[in-house]
Amino acid sequence: MLIGAGVALAAPASALAADSAKVTIANASGGLNMVMTELMKQVRYLESFGLAPEIMGVADGSRILGGIVSGSIDVSMMSGFGQVLPAIERGADLKILAGGSLRPTTAMYTGKPNVQSLKDLEGKVVGTGSIGALVYQLTVLLLRKYNVDIAKVRFVNIGSSADIIKAVSAGTVDAGLGATALDADRFHIRPISHGNMTIELADYTYQGAWASTRKIATEREALVKCLAAYAKLYRFVQSPQAKDAFIKARRAVFPNETDRDHELEWDFIQTYKPFAVNLAVGPDRIRYMQQVNIDFQVQKTLMPYARVADMSLAAEALKLLG
């Protein structure tokens, strides 16, 4: 377990069968992921497949990578895998197993009246994460798409998207990334035209499932069951009948947020249906992610699909679901 990496959310030991297979899952600790973890606890899909899960929310993707490489983590089911690809290029024995959120769940916001378009950000200050981090990468990709001269933008490392939105709201930066489902009025900010990354960067695979080849070889059955449980969760949460359970989970995670906040995120999921209900991440998406890495100079070559991905476990998981 990663000490200090996040809060472990596991089913009570008394509720688990003695012969349940223990599995340690590390997911990115974004707000929607935290809600999905709480929802998974409620519906107990992992337990229904005979697993005894420990799910950790981890803010730093490099810590997930380190845990999977070391073997202290079995699998990540919902985290960005952009950093996995260059690690594989450098010789790490890792494989992408499935998709999670197939689209970014983020958008660009501003509180400044003189920022009406992305092009207006030239000469302005934009809050991001550290250079090379997911938030930075998404921001730059969006700006490049609309021919913004990146050299004329001053990027400031604020941290997480939640911290960036606070800085946008306070006016300390001119723009920055936040959740697409954000209640912008509450922060006295507004989305920028063409800034919805869920639409504008739809080819960018935001999150996926990945593990080490060692775990695939030794814990294949458990990993297949994990994938089946998450596919079932994705199908459930993107169906209308999940609303009450989703709102209940979100209230448990964010008790101080408003009913409007909860409804906005529910509406986002129903509108965009971002989750990979059939799990697969095809060659085109993997090629796109590799090309992004090459453009950002964190990866040197375009690797064959078979070297970086193994969708056979996802296929077995779908068979479990019938």
The per-residue pLDDT for range 235-269, each reduced to its tens digit, is: 999 999 999 999 999 999 999 999 999 999 999 99
First to last CA, the chain: 33
59 pLDDT tier (thresholds 50, 70, 90): confident
- Letter for the amino acid at 180? T
- The whole-angstrom separation of Cα 267 and Cα 105 is 12
Model confidence at 10: pLDDT above 50: no
239 DSSP assignment: S
DSSP string, 262-283: HHHHHHHHHHH--B-TT----H
Top-confidence residue, 109 or 12:
109
pLDDT at 15: 44
Instruction: Tell me the mean pLDDT in the region 135-164.
Output: 94
Domains present along the chain, CATH in parentheses: 8-103+204-321 (3.40.190.10), 106-200 (3.40.190.10)
pLDDT at 4: 35
- For Cα atoms 289, 39, 49, give the angle at the middle one, nearest 5 degrees: 85
150-160 pLDDT, tens digit each: 999 999 999 88
Percent of the chain with pLDDT over 90: 86
The distance of Cα 108 from the centroid of its chain, to the nearest Å, equals: 17
Locate 243 and state its tokens: 């609303």
225 pLDDT tier (thresholds 50, 70, 90): very high
pLDDT at 149: 98
Model confidence at 322: pLDDT above 80: yes
167-205 pLDDT, tens digit each: 999 999 999 999 999 999 999 999 999 999 999 999 999
Model confidence at 3: pLDDT above 70: no
Model confidence at 134: pLDDT above 60: yes
- The whole-angstrom separation of Cα 201 and Cα 144 is 11
Top-confidence residue, 311 or 134:
311
The answer to whether 64 and 26 are in contact (CB under 8 A) is yes
The residues near 166 (Cβ < 8 Å, ≥ 6 apart) are 187
The answer to whether 141 and 201 are in contact (CB under 8 A) is yes
Instruction: Tell me the mean pLDDT in the region 69-83.
Output: 95
Model confidence at 13: pLDDT above 70: no
Q: CA torsion 313→315→317→322, rounded to 10°? A: -160
How many CB atoms sit inside 10 A of residue 18's CB?
Answer: 6
- The whole-angstrom separation of Cα 316 and Cα 42 is 25
- The whole-angstrom separation of Cα 122 and Cα 236 is 42
pLDDT at 17: 52
pLDDT at 60: 81
Q: Nearest 5°: phi and psi at 126?
A: -120, 130
Q: What is the average pLDDT value for the chain, to the nearest integer? A: 93
- The whole-angstrom separation of Cα 44 and Cα 38 is 10
Model confidence at 99: pLDDT above 90: yes
- The whole-angstrom separation of Cα 222 and Cα 217 is 11
